Structure 1
Amino acid sequence: MPMYPQQPTPGLPEDPYREAPGPVPRQANPSWMGQVHPGHYRPAPGHGGQPLATVGPHLPETALRVSRARTGLAGLSIAGGVLAFLSLFLVVPFLLSNTGAGGFLIGFLASLVPLSVVLAAVHIIDRWEPEPKRLLLFAFVWGAAVSVAVTLLIQPFFVIAFQFTDQADLQTYMATVQAPVVEEFAKSLGLLIILLAARRQFDGPVDGVVFAFTIAGGFAFTENILYFGRAVAESASPASDLAQIFFLRGVMSPFAHAIFTGTTGLVMGFAARKWHTGASVGAFLAGLLPAMFLHNRWNSMGRGFLLDYIMVQVPIFLLAVAGIIFLRVAEKRLTRQRLLEYSAAGWFTPDEVQLLATPAGRRTALSWAATAGRKPQMKQFLKAATQLANIRQRILSGRDVPLHQAEERHQLQRILELRAAIAR
């Protein structure tokens, strides 16, 4: 694997960020994702040093720990843990009162199956640029505990606000109005918190989908415990009723909540590229509308459920799958282009960009590193390069440029350290 630039030049420039914005090269916009305004484009900082394995001071592990702490993930994790713990005092008694101890246990175990399916999908979507595990854990506990508690606290006000004399009308109202509005608000509130508190980790629409799917998977997990457990506790034939409700929720629709909230995550992901608090809140509100609409359509299916499922819900699911694939392809193209810009500045060779920015190249790089006993270092190098591409995209967005340039400088130094660890 090549570890050096093609044409190194002596001397490290005093100010690698001195170049002013210039015209946008034709290839700088490889897809619709991440379009660059001409006034915001600037070349990548020049490397201009000696062979990359020896350039730059060694960055101590303590400095890396300080940098990671600055992301705010620790504070967000603690806050999420506290909120989840407090939420359990409301959620667990609610579940036990509806399912009983036996129903709760069976419902819990049965709910692990659809949850595993959703989390497996999250893992596949998130493989290109894995999100921090603590942030994904926050998203899950928000969905499984906090959003459920928020729903339980808010939904009584919807019942009080609209008085119904007919029980059937009340049930219809709760399913088609209250549930879509309250549940999507409660779930997506977690997305907004992630975007505002950990915005450096929220790089675009793919990240929005990943966080949304994780939150929705947690919410569906708790909701499934309620439905599965209640089928056991309240039925005269618990086995058949559990099988029926499990087939409906666990087999036919494990991604229902994920698709609902995923639309909000998608909208907020596009807003994340702008790095503007007002735009983020606006995207949160705008993203709730399609989520609530899809949720309403799902809960409105009645006697013609099977026909609506085949004619409406299955195409929506297939459209969601196609959209995620489309986003992944666009994300990979953008990563490759941004790394090519660093390659032109001397930080990578073109061959390295192929290894870092294509699925086949990454497999080759990891295989090579495994034979050399450096696979963990190579994984970190791949991740750091992808993060570097995202940092450059933020710089080219034109917002908070000095802040992101400082982050870029730190990331380039980390790239040097990881490169040295692989090359030695």
Structure 2
Amino acid sequence: MTSHNPRSGRRAPLSEQANPSWMGHIPEENYRPAPVNSAGRLRADLPPALPPALSPAPPGAGSRRSAGAVGLVAAGVVLGFVSLFLVLPFLLVNTGVTGFVVGFVASLLPLGAVLFAVRVIDRWEPEPRRLLLFAFIWGASVSISVTMLIQPFFSLAAGPASGLDAQTFAVTVQAPVVEEFAKSLGLLLLVLFARKHFDGPVDGVVFAFTVAGGFAFTENILYFGRAIAESSDPGTELAMVFFLRGVMSPFAHAIFTGTTGLIMGFAARRGNTGLAVAAFGVGLVPAMLLHSGWNSMGRNFLAQYVLVQVPIFLLAVLVIVLLRVAENRLTRQRLREYAAAGWFTAAEVDLLATGAGRRSALRWARSGGRGPQMKALLHAATRLAFTRQRILSGPDVRAHQIDEQHQLADVAVLRAAVIR
């Protein structure tokens, strides 16, 4: 494999390491060297000896907000607020005030498990909190109202043709199709209006888990609250429902919708928004099938849970681990290319692009009172690596190169703030 060398006009060998993982593979013709640091030789390695004075956080170090992402979040908040006028009365009618309060509190526990998983998955390249907020609001409020509005029409259109009785149709067809569509609409909006933050499978999983966590939270309020309101033995009924939904299956919705996010993320990694939009339809199929399979478990629930659902959960964990490993390798390789262009030293790449190196860097920086600057540098370096990946992927190269120049300037200021 070869790449073009703009200085010599010849094609130089393209290192096999330029494609460090299956997730970061790039076509040979798209490869281009990282821009050279015109400031010259780096004056020190990280970490140096820290002087006692503290350095302020550098200007411009925060992530730049695109108009599309800001508008998306604003629209999400408005839609979420409006949706509450449909969702809250529905919950209160079905649960009563006491059931609603108890269900709300009990639902926080499985929600906490899902959000903790999101944080663990998202630690390497954290998504903007405002977009995670949009994803949660979409799942907890907007997607619920969309589901409630669409379900009657779907039932009228598809119910008679299915040949199933009303209850079976509602559980195994209607709920999987309508709910997965409603939840995944949020992912589609993220791809369309926050494209730079939804550019890989890990991003897709993070956003999908957040949407699904919000949806399951509201749905759990309904189920837990109804166990209080409709049972002659509410304590026992609530314990049984909580064990089923809060202990045995807190990640069920996350895994269903996560498959859609995963497929959309792989498409987005190709740098083509149209392909990512098409992947929305493709990704809905496995999500709906998984959802229907879960809802179809009946008399042999325990056997199916152990033999089918547990392996699916373990497979999901394995996929996420493999994605994280590939993401780490990709970050390290792209930062090596920036190091070759003079933006970092080779030792700094290990510090910025490995888990052990990052932990060591943060401990060192916090001991000198510069933890926030180091944390900002770690995040900025990771964003820079993925910006380079977008540049090498092909489409919208010029726009990504402009973003790269801004990020390189931020990284240089952050690095200087940490080492001086």
What TM-score does the superposition give when structure 2 sets the normalisation length?
0.92
- 1:233-312 map, 5 Å: 233-312=229-308
Offset of residue 161 of structure 1: 2.2
Comparing 267-276 and 18-27, the one that deviates more: 18-27
CA distance in 1, matches of 2:99, 2:334: 53
1:34 corresponds in structure 2 to: 24
Show structure 2 runs of 5+ residues with no match.
45-56
- The number of residue pairs the alignment matches comes to 403
CA distance in 2, matches of 1:19, 1:392: 22
CA distance in 1, matches of 2:263, 2:27: 20
- 1:99-114 map, 5 Å: 99-114=95-110
1:406 corresponds in structure 2 to: 402
- 1:179-218 map, 5 Å: 179-218=175-214
CA distance in 2, matches of 1:200, 1:178: 34
Q: Please state if 1:82 is matched with 2:68.
A: no
CA distance in 1, matches of 2:327, 2:65: 27
Deviations 1:186-230 (A, max 9, x none): 001100101111111112101100000000000000000000001
Offset of residue 317 of structure 1: 0.2
1:373 corresponds in structure 2 to: 369
Offset of residue 253 of structure 1: 0.1
- The match for 2:315 among 292, 300, 319 is 319
Offset of residue 48 of structure 1: 3.7
Deviations 1:320-360 (A, max 9, x none): 00110010000000000000011111111111000000000
2:36 corresponds in structure 1 to: 46
Amino acid at match of 1:352: E
Distance 1:308 1:19, change over 3 A: farther
- The match for 2:174 among 172, 178, 187 is 178
Distance 1:37 1:161, change over 3 A: same
Amino acid at match of 1:202: F
TM superposition outliers: structure 1 runs of 4+ over 4 Å: 16-23, 51-54
Offset of residue 81 of structure 1: 0.4
Q: Please state if 1:350 is matched with 2:346.
A: yes
Comparing 182-191 and 194-203, the one that deviates more: 194-203
2:52 corresponds in structure 1 to: none
Aligned residues of 1:204 and 1:269 also touching (Cα < 8 A) = yes
Distance 1:53 1:400, change over 3 A: farther
What TM-score does the superposition give when structure 1 sets the normalisation length?
0.91
Offset of residue 272 of structure 1: 1.2
CA distance in 1, matches of 2:318, 2:159: 43
Aligned residues of 1:150 and 1:186 also touching (Cα < 8 A) = yes
* Backbone CA RMSD of aligned residues: 2.2
2:54 corresponds in structure 1 to: none
Amino acid at match of 2:259: T
Aligned residues of 1:23 and 1:41 also touching (Cα < 8 A) = no
Aligned residues of 1:19 and 1:43 also touching (Cα < 8 A) = no
Show structure 1 runs of 5+ residues with no match.
1-15
Deviations 1:362-416 (A, max 9, x none): 0010011011110000000000000000000000001111111111111000001
Comparing 128-137 and 68-77, the one that deviates more: 68-77
Distance 1:268 1:162, change over 3 A: closer
Offset of residue 421 of structure 1: 1.0
Distance 1:422 1:178, change over 3 A: same
